[in-house]
Structure 1
Amino acid sequence: MGFLTITSCGKKETAPADQTETTEPSGEGEQAPATAAAEENVLVLEGNDQMQFNVNELKAVAGKPIKLTLKHVGKIPKEAMGHNLVILQPGTDLSAFALKANDAKATDYIPESENAVIIAHTKLLGGGEEDTIEFTIDKKGNYPFICSFPGHVAMMKGVLIVE
């Protein structure tokens, strides 16, 4: 039963918490920390037809590759209800970014003028689609994420906490 608990925790958002607990007693459970460490920066986020992400907070470990999957679990095509995920530098003015994104239809609402504040982004998705991106953030901090499709930032935003 203990094995099932460790296995299921490694696949959930609680992996960073488990990693924190296992790093203190460094000699115990050599295999369990390796499993948690291998999966700790694997993140999944869902967007739906009600303009909502299923979570508004994600956690990752600084300096380790992050594999993030965005799934559009709705049915409406991207032309009417497109979703993406844009991870931004801390301190970015989300309203100003969203205004510039509104004018960037040709680049799927990713404004090229804002490349300096964009850490990573998925492609624009319609219902039933998904996209996976891989990136690394070396510096600890709180990184805002949004959907940059016009009008969505008001409801579709959150924070990636890098510890």
Structure 2
Amino acid sequence: MTRSIFAVSALALALAACSKSPAPEAPAAAPAETATAAAPATTTAAEAAPAPEAAPAPEPAPAAGTMPATVTDCATTIEANDSMKYNADSITVPASCTQFTINLKHVGKMPITAMGHNVVIAKQADMARIAADGMSVSPEHIKAGDARVIAHTRMIGGGESASVSFDVAKIKGDGPYEFFCSFPGHLALMKGSIAVQ
């Protein structure tokens, strides 16, 4: 019995010690915005109805140099600028055409000696060698009589235009074929595919 009284006394002391520990702090009051946000919102039937779907936004126009050239009546016009870019990166020649014409417009202002442009058509595999071989031939930058060149315009400066017509059968064989500018250093940026469909 002494043990029971001793156990009960120990338990009472332990409980008393626990009751003297500081009470935990109450959570800080929520700011007014939080309390308001937590409150259930009341809405009218009109507010609860889903909003009508908006018409899809029109797709942005492709950036310059990322568009196919427009072809009309077996011809196309491409523009070149002072930023070493064509406004087209591909030309699709209709299979019904026997002759095709490319009109080149230099819409920049820089002279031919600083920012000349042309359009040269050749097999993709021949482009780099054509450009390298024509590097020292000024102002055209095309080696005379280069058999790898299918067709080319003359070199032009800002505000000028030039055209070239060629036999479509010449780009129906083993390709792929490309158009490019042979002015020194321009080949890296000024090129695109040309194919018959």
Q: Same fold (TM over 0.5)?
A: yes
On the 8 A contact 1:40/1:60 being kept in 2, the answer is no
Q: How far apart, in 2, do the equivalents of 1:154 and 1:13 lie?
A: 19
**Residues 1:41 and 1:74: Cα distance change in structure 2 (over 3 Å):** same
1:112 aligns to what? 144
Counterpart among 174, 183, 188 of residue 154 in structure 1: 188
Report runs of 4+ in structure 1 exceeding 3 Å deviation: 12-15
Tell me the TM-score normalized by structure 2: 0.58
Aligned to 2:177, which of 126, 143, 150?
143
Q: CA deviation digits over 1:14-44, x for unaligned, max 9?
A: 66xxxxxxxxxxxxxxxxxxxxxxx342111
Identity of aligned residues (%): 39
In structure 1, list runs of 5 or more residues that go unmatched.
Answer: 1-11, 16-38
Paired amino acid for 2:141: Y
Q: How far has the Cα of 1:92 moved from its partner?
A: 2.9
Structure label with greater radius of gyration: 2
RCO higher in structure (CA 8 A, sep ≥6): 1
1:41/1:60 contact within 8 Å kept: yes
Please state which structure has a larger fraction of its residues in strand.
Answer: 1
Give the Cα separation in 1 of the matches to 2:86 and 2:124.
21
Are residues 91 and 74 of structure 1, via their aligned partners in 2, closer, same or farther at CA, if it must alter by over 3 Å? closer
Match of residue 129, structure 1, among 146, 160, 176: 160
Aligned partner of 1:48 in structure 2 is 81
Conserved? CA contact 1:92–1:117, under 8 Å: no
Aligned residues: 126
CA distance in 2, matches of 1:13, 1:76: 24
